[in-house]
Structure formats: structure tokens, C-alpha cells
Chains A and B, each alone.
Chain A
């Protein structure tokens, strides 16, 4: 593996020297050896439940397949790096073709040929394509940055178009139950992402327990409706308020802490809230959760059911429409769209206020801010509370949409997903959150059939995107407002 960095740094000069076969094969062999050690115990041997207890089963062919894949892959990559992209491409394509067409003695061999050949061919094709353009890695990174800046700049136009699309979507023939449900799901995560963006992207605080406020919001509504029979429209502001209060309560002791300590304490708080929800079963219903959460009415005027309760008009009669269960879904869709847009508008406006500018300054340099007389604790507390409030709104929306909540929905993985949306999108970028949500939530949703492999690919995808663009897809850190209307020193025109 140590030869890796050398070959990269001198990729240009190596072309002249030809291929260093010995080193390449040695490198690939080492990688294959590591793959052997990785796969022998966990892939090669499976535990199986037998009536007599736990048994074990050997799967040697899968180990062989992974070793072959790693060896050929590493070999291919090594050769591509040494300027053999074209021959590797042809060979890999032939391999994949042979694997597809000819009959194979075992499925494993076919898998190795097709999968390995395909991936290597893709990589080689990319190298061949980019090799022509004579760009170095840094140049390509800069080009990506410029594209990201352009997207940021274009968000002035993309934003309204996207909003208009979201608004007319329920009226297009596309809109069936499934599309709208996915739309609601995406918008919920977009709202959560925008909410967390205030804390992480603007104020620069790493919050690993954001889902706690989501839970507080959801349980506030569910419990208020359960014990006091309050309606959704009364509970929505109350849930936001309660979540904001819990944000202040949790934030106050910990906001003095430095970055990573802060992160781990917020994670701890997130877990504490979840454990309380599980254990305080007399009040919260424990692990069984709360079911039968009332659906929202049409602003307290009309109900969406076919035969509404006494003293309530029916939505379809009020508007002279034919009854359709879709009305409620469409209404929920618009509700979450409106909530999400409120968060977005708030963020865009607050950035121009002293509060938002103080957040951006805090993110860049904590100590300088203190020296300039900014009250750090109050500013961070404000960010924490406001983000918590939005989380609370989203939570009570979640409760009313599902009609059922349990602590299961508020595990750490949710916090991780929301944080991943913010960071993958590029911290501080509003449009980045949308793009990342489409990737992180939309893609797995589209591949629902893959069931088990979804989360596996999700984890791997997070790693890959971070390796590819460590600052996020649409990285954006320029201050919103500059002195004398000047332009930021590095990238210009990325002010949205």
C-alpha cells in the first residue's frame, strides 16, 4: 500500500518509464491478502440457527470471489494510474462481456467477471475521458467548486422554479398517493435539514442529538392531544415552544463546551430523551408509543373524513368536491411545504440581521467574536433554541401525519441522517440541503426493493461522498454580508 502515494504524485513521469509490473502486482497482492483476512471470519463463516443451538456454515466461494475482485480491482487501478487506461478498459469490457454471455461453471465466477469488469471499465473510461482534458486533480476540484458556486448563484432562479414545481405537483397527473407520500417525506427531511443547518451550518455547532427536539415536538402534540384533546393547530405553536424551551434547557449547561465535547453531549441528551420516552411508560406509552393521534383539520374549519364529527363541516362538501381520501394527503403535503419554506425564509432573512451575522462570525472564529464583545453563549443559545423550535414543528407534523409515534422513530440514526444531509449538502448551503435530501432520502426510497442493502449502501455512500467532496456537494462558507458591499476574496457571487 505504501507505493500508492508515490504512484499518484508522479503519475505524469511514470508514463515515460512504462509499467512497473512487479510493484503493481505486489500492491494488488497485498490488497488481496488484506481482503482475505477481512473476509475469512465474517464472510466465509456464517452463524446459522440450528435446533441444537448455534451452528456454523462455510462459504468459501464468496471469500474467493471477494479476494479475486479486490486483486483484479487493485491491479486495474494500478495500471490505470500508470497510463494503461485504454488497454485496461478494453480488457475489463471483454471480461464483463464474457461473464454476461458465456456459460460459467459457477455463479461466483460470473459475478467476479461482470461486477469487477464493469467497475474497472467505468473507472478506466473516466480516466480516458479526463486524461484527454489534461486537467490535474486540483484543477478538477476547482472546476467542481466553480460548478457548485454557479449552482449557489443560480439558486436565485432555481429556488422559485423548485418551489413552483412543488406547489403544482399535486395537480399534475403524476401525483398519486405514493408520489405525494414520498414528497411529504422528502419535505420533512428538508425542513429538518434546514433547521439543523441553523445550528451546524450557520453557528458552527456540531449537534448530534437534533432528533431529540423532533421527538419533543412529536410527543408534545401527541400527549397534548391525548390528555387534553387539543387540536393540531393549537398544539403546533405549543410544540415549537416546548421544543425551544428544551433546547434552551439542554443548551444552557453545554454551550460553553468546545466542539467535539459539545457533539458528544448533544448525542447523550438525544439518548436521554429517548430513554425517558421508553421508560416513562405510564406517561408516554413506553416502547409501544402513542397511537390514534388525531389528524389535522382544515384550519379548524373542516374535516377531511367522509362523515365528520358533530359540529364540523366536511372538506369535500365545503368546497363542493367529490370525496377523495387524497385530499388529506394533499393538505398535509402543502402543510409541510409551507412549514419548510418558513424555515428557509427565516434562515435567508436572519442571515442579514445582526443575529445571523454573529452566528457566521462565531462559526469562523469563536475567540475573535468574544474579543469583539459578542455574547457567545446567548448567540449560540439563540441558534440552538430556534433550530429546536423548527425541529419541534417538524416533529408535531410527523406525529399528525403518522398518527402513531414510538421511541423507535427517534433513534440516533435519525440524527445522523439529518446531520449527513446538512454536511453532504455543504454546510450553510440551503440548496445543498435539498440536493442532499434527494440523494440521501430519495434514492433509498426509490430502491425500496433492495431492503437490507439500502442502509449498507447508505453508509457506504456517506463515506464515498465525503471522500469525493470533503466540504460537501455545494460547499458554501462565504459571509452573507460584507463590509462596503465588497466581494468575498475567494469565490464571488455565492451569497445565497
Chain B
């Protein structure tokens, strides 16, 4: 039972990370119908910015951990969202009215570019970081120990999700975003600045991915320039699992994938966990192609 709860918490924190990345995929897919293949790389950049920020403020003498974490969070969200914005502006916006494959190829190219960009700038070796937030919370008379980092991940994700839901459901920006998702042309006619909304979608997605990157850095303590690919594919799996275009779906999908991965590694063995994830994706798509929370799509002729 203790082992089960331990894995449950591991899975939840991992799922929170996948969910945060998946939101970026699902929002972009919802609004311009493309797989933003470079989103995994954006998450990787977020992790790197967080690492560099930590080292930089360490060199400047900030040692109080909560302040350091806050600066890391803000810096990685800010700088990474600029990357998200720039990628959209350079590689996707000129291709908006092109055949469906063109933006996808452009995105794959961008992904290769960003990966090598980081490799050249920061080196190919993996970057280890000493634990910033050590310590465990012991529950059930010491049978279950939850590291503070994982707890913080879950809490921060929850807070972000609440804030994000309010942003999408209550503010005028969210309204414009949902309108563009329904019908870009009509939204444009009614005075919504569609370009701006799409840019902001990328910015929001990148900011959330940056948080995920920072969390991964804190939990695992080691990153390299290649982490974006697998995390990106799994998060897209999460987005598809939850139903592409649905924000709660993305979060749910992320948590499901995270739990599968944690339980599979915990009870079966960590080698085959990726196979399990992808198999789940295939099974879901075969039996419920719209995902768990997706709307059925009516194809118009």
C-alpha cells in the first residue's frame, strides 16, 4: 500500500509535468490545427533557462531558496515565452495559409535547429545540478516519503491550472482565444486581432512548458539538450489522449500518462515504460479517436 501511494505521488508529479506541456500542444492544435513539433524543444529551453538563472543568481549571491525559486520561475517563463513567440513569428506565421504539411516540416526543422542551437551553446554533456530543495515529507509513520519538490510540482501545477482556467474562461483574452478556435475568419471580422491571439497562444504554451522544464530540473536534477523530444512526444500523446483541443483533457491525459509510466516502472520495470505509453495511445485512438474528453468531430463535405 505504501509503495502504491509512493508511485501514485510520483505519477501525479510526472503527470503534472506532461500536462503542462500538453496544454501548449492542445491550444496550438485547437487554434491553428498544427502539431507544434518544436514545443518539446521549448520545454527543454525552459529547463535550460531555469538552470542558467539559478547559476547566475547563485553567482550574484542570492541564497535564500524561496526567492531563488521565484526568480527562476519568472525568468524561465519570461525568456522561454519569447522563444515561443519568435518561433511562431518566424517559422509558422508565414505558412498559415499553406498546405497542411508545410508548417509541420517547418516545425520539425525548427525543432532540429533549437536542439542543435542549445547543444552548440551549452555543450552536449548533461548538466547535473545539486538538489535545491532537499528533504522529504514523511507520511504514514515514515512508510511513505514525498520529496518537497514533487509536492511543490503538484501544488504549482494546480495553482497554474486554476489561474489558466480563469484566464481562458473569464477574461477577454480567453474569450478571443476561444472565438479564434471556433472560427478565425469570423473572429477577425468581429474585431479580434487573430495574429495577436495566436501569438499569445504560443506565449502561454511556452510559459507553461517552461514551468514544466524547471520542475523537471528540480525533480531529476539533470538535463541535457535532448530531453525535449521524448517529453514532447509523450505530452502530445497526453494531449491526444485527453482529446486534442480540450484543456482539461490535456491535463487529464498528462496525469494518466504520468500514472501509467510511474506504475509501470514501479511494478513492471522501467525499460518498457515508453512502449506502454505509446500502446495506450494507439489503443485510445482505435477505440475512442476523439480522446477522453474530446468532442466528436463532424466532417463536412
Contact = CB atoms under 8 A, between A and B. Distances in A.
Interface in A277-297: 279
B109 A258 contact: no
A274 to B, nearest CB: 9
Nearest to B51: A47
A467 interface: yes
Contacts of A416: 108, 112
B116 A272 contact: no
Interface string B87-113: 001110011001111111110111111
A459 B128 contact: no
Nearest to B239: A264
A183 to B, nearest CB: 25
Interface string A6-47: 000000000000000000000000000010011011110111
Residue among B33, B103, B122 having the largest count of chain A Cβ atoms under 10 Å = B122
A264 B48 contact: no
Interface stretch (B61-69, B131-139, B140-148, B276-284): B276-284
A165 interface: no
B112 A412 contact: no
A466 B56 contact: no
Interface stretch (A98-106, A232-240, A384-392, A450-458): A450-458
B193 to A, nearest CB: 9
Contacts of A467: 91, 94-95, 106
B203 to A, nearest CB: 12
**Size category, A interface:** 35 or more
Residue among A42, A45, A466 having the largest count of chain B Cβ atoms under 10 Å = A466
Contacts of A48: 123
B86 A263 contact: no
B169 to A, nearest CB: 26
A46 B59 CA distance: 13
B120 A453 contact: yes
Interface residues of B, number: 74
B286 interface: yes
A139 interface: no
Contacts of B233: 264, 267-268, 271
B48 A260 contact: no
Contacts, number: 182
Contact of A54 (B102, B106, B129, B286): B129
Contacts of A493: none
A419 interface: yes
A253 B55 contact: no
A424 interface: yes
A367 B98 contact: no
B90 A463 contact: yes
Contacts of A206: 101, 104
Interface string B251-272: 0000000000000000000011
A129 to B, nearest CB: 22
Given A41-B79, A206-B101, A275-B275, A47 B122 contact: yes
B282 A253 contact: yes
B106 A462 contact: yes
B153 interface: no
19 contacts: A47-B51, A47-B52, A47-B55, A47-B127, A49-B125, A54-B127, A253-B282, A259-B100, A260-B29, A260-B244, A268-B233, A272-B274, A420-B109, A459-B111, A462-B105, A463-B109, A466-B103, A466-B109, A467-B94
Given A41-B52, A45-B52, A470-B98, 19 more contacts: A34-B82, A37-B78, A38-B82, A42-B52, A42-B121, A43-B121, A47-B122, A54-B129, A254-B282, A263-B104, A269-B278, A413-B112, A416-B108, A427-B101, A452-B116, A462-B112, A466-B106, A467-B91, A471-B99
Q: Top 7 A-B pairs ranked by shortest CB distance? A: A462-B109, A459-B113, A459-B112, A470-B98, A268-B278, A470-B102, A56-B55
